[in-house]
Structure 1
């Protein structure tokens, strides 16, 4: 598991003072940085090997401004060329949001998915979500 703490900005709130539901997709993408480094350690956009095939978010409780949010990132599935990144947002000991992004290793030149290597699979497996 990878962990990161976010301090919500005032601009992350909605009119009711909650963290806006759209913010979590951005926070979760930022927290996937360690995953991206498995596939392109230098984060070179000219050689970017991943695409997002799907993103799903579930909201479990309200998240509020004024208190830090812990983001937890796991790998929940590893396929041939795709894998699932499962993430959670926690505030005050409560899981407020969870989500899954389906990522595909992709060759933009051939416009095809690329198999996950044994080394990449090993690195991903080190962060498997508990079952």
Structure 2
């Protein structure tokens, strides 16, 4: 598991005074950096090896400004050419949101997926989610 603490910004709030639903996908993407570094240690965008295929987010409880949040990041499934990143947002010991991103190991020159190399697959599976 990877963990990141985030201080919600005032601009993350909505008209109802709590954190808006558009902040969560941004936080999730930022907290995927450790996963990205397993695939591309230098984060060189000219050699970027993945593409986002799908995201799903479920909201469990409200989030509030002025209280830190924790984003927990796991690998949920590692397939031949794709993998699922499972993430949770916690605030005050309450799981407030969870979501899954489907990432595809991708060749931009050929515009198609390709198998995940074994060394990268091994790194990813070290962080599989244990329910």
Could you state the TM-score of these two structures normalised by the residue count of structure 1?
0.98
CA distance in 2 between partners of 1:75 and 1:39 (Å): 13
Match of 1:32 in 2: 32
Structure 1 stretches lacking a partner, 5+ long: none
Which residue does the alignment assign to 2:5? Answer: 5
Name the counterpart of 1:119.
119
Instruction: Give CA-to-partner distance per residue, 1:16-55, whole Å, 9 cap, x none.
Output: 1111101100000000001011111100111111100000
Task: Describe the SS at the equivalent of 1:37.
Answer: helix
The count of aligned residue pairs is: 131
> TM-score, structure 2 length as denominator?
0.98
Q: Which residue of 2 aligns with 1:85?
A: 85
- Tell me how large the CA RMSD over aligned residues is: 0.6
Partner of 2:59 in structure 1?
59
Q: CA-to-partner distance for each residue in 1:52-94, whole Å, 9 max, x for gaps?
A: 0000000000000010000000000000000000000000000
CA deviation after TM superposition for structure 1 residue 115, in Å:
0.6
Q: Distance in 2 between matches of 1:88 and 1:47?
A: 29
Alpha-carbon distance between aligned partners in 2 of 1:101 and 1:31, rounded to the nearest angstrom? 12
Gaps of 5+ in 2: none
Q: Displaced runs of 4+ in structure 1, greater than 3 A?
A: none
